[in-house]
Amino acid sequence: MLFGRVTGSAICTIKYPGTEGLKLLIVQPLNKKLEPLGALQVAADVVHAGPGDLCVMVRSREAALAMPDVKFVPIDLALVGIVDELVVRPDGLFDFTLKSGRNLYT
Amino acid sequence: MILGKVVGTVVTTISHRDYKNRRLLVVQPLHLAGDVPDEDFIALDNSQAGIGDTVLVNREGNGARQALKNPDACVISVIVGIVDSAFVQP
């Protein structure tokens, strides 16, 4: 699951059966610092997000499971939440390396 | 499953019903010294983890559905454990 910023919408008149009525949005995938991660993608919307919204997205088969009715649809990216508040600690605060030998975390 | 560290929290008032009543956390995967770190991601919390905890994360949909006991959950990453210690062969 990853962050995405809604940057626009896509409209298709002819769609695969089961995806009629689905809202398609153009999103920019983002990392935890909200920096762009790769190219723009199209996501199906089930939470009524709008342009500029920061969202939580889910990929692969689980994106199709997010659909309200038909769960067997060709969807591989879905918006599943609209972010109201995001708290991320700066990188220098934690050590992300696994050292040789025993690593104690408590 | 992978080891990661919780570095942030996400609050979503409007979210899919499968995400209700559980917290979303930002997880940074751990890596060996000298390796390139993997990209961070968001995971659903199933173990009462918090910022700074080292956690075990299931990053596969079927395992996530079993952990959440919901056969249709649209969730991929679920925190399934809090790590006390890890041993890496020198």
- Contact of A35 with chain B, judged by CB distance below 8 Å, is answered with no
How does pLDDT run across A23-76, given as a tens digit for each residue?
Answer: 899 999 999 989 998 999 999 998 999 899 999 999 999 999 988 887 788 899
pLDDT at A105: 85
- Asked if the Cβ–Cβ distance from A98 to B53 is below 8 Å, we say no
Report if residue B88 sits inside a domain.
no
Report if residue B89 sits inside a domain.
no
- Contact of A103 with chain B, judged by CB distance below 8 Å, is answered with yes
Q: Are B8 and A93 in contact (CB under 8 A)?
A: no
Query: E strands along A60-104, which residues?
Result: 77-88, 97-98, 101-104
Average pLDDT over residues A78-82: 93
Identify from B12, B13, B70, B84 which residue to disrupt to test chain A contact, counting A C-beta atoms within 10 A and taking the largest count: B12
Average pLDDT over residues B31-39: 89
- Domain-wise residue ranges, chain A: 2-93
Helix (H) or strand (E) holding B69: none
Report if residue B24 sits inside a domain.
yes
Minimal CA–CA distance to B86: which of A81, A100, A26?
Answer: A100
- Chain B contact set for A5 (CB, 8 A): none
How does pLDDT run across B37-56, given as a tens digit for each residue?
Answer: 899 999 999 888 889 999 99
pLDDT at A85: 92
Minimal CA–CA distance to B43: which of B72, B9, B84?
Answer: B9
- Chain A contact set for B33 (CB, 8 A): 97-99
- Asked if the Cβ–Cβ distance from B33 to A56 is below 8 Å, we say no
How many separate domains does chain B show? 1
Q: What is the CATH number of the domain that holds B49?
A: 2.40.50.220
- ipTM score assigned to the predicted complex: 0.84
- For β-strands A77-88 and B2-15, DSSP reports them as antiparallel
How does pLDDT run across B2-20, given as a tens digit for each residue?
Answer: 999 999 999 998 999 888 8
Tokens of B25: 């956390």
Minimal CA–CA distance to A47: which of B2, B20, B72?
Answer: B20
> Which residue range(s) make up the domain with B75?
2-82
Query: E strands along chain B, which residues?
Result: 2-15, 24-29, 31-32, 41-45, 54-59, 77-82, 85-88
- Asked if the Cβ–Cβ distance from B19 to A47 is below 8 Å, we say no
CATH top-level class for A2-93?
mainly beta
pLDDT at A3 over 90: yes
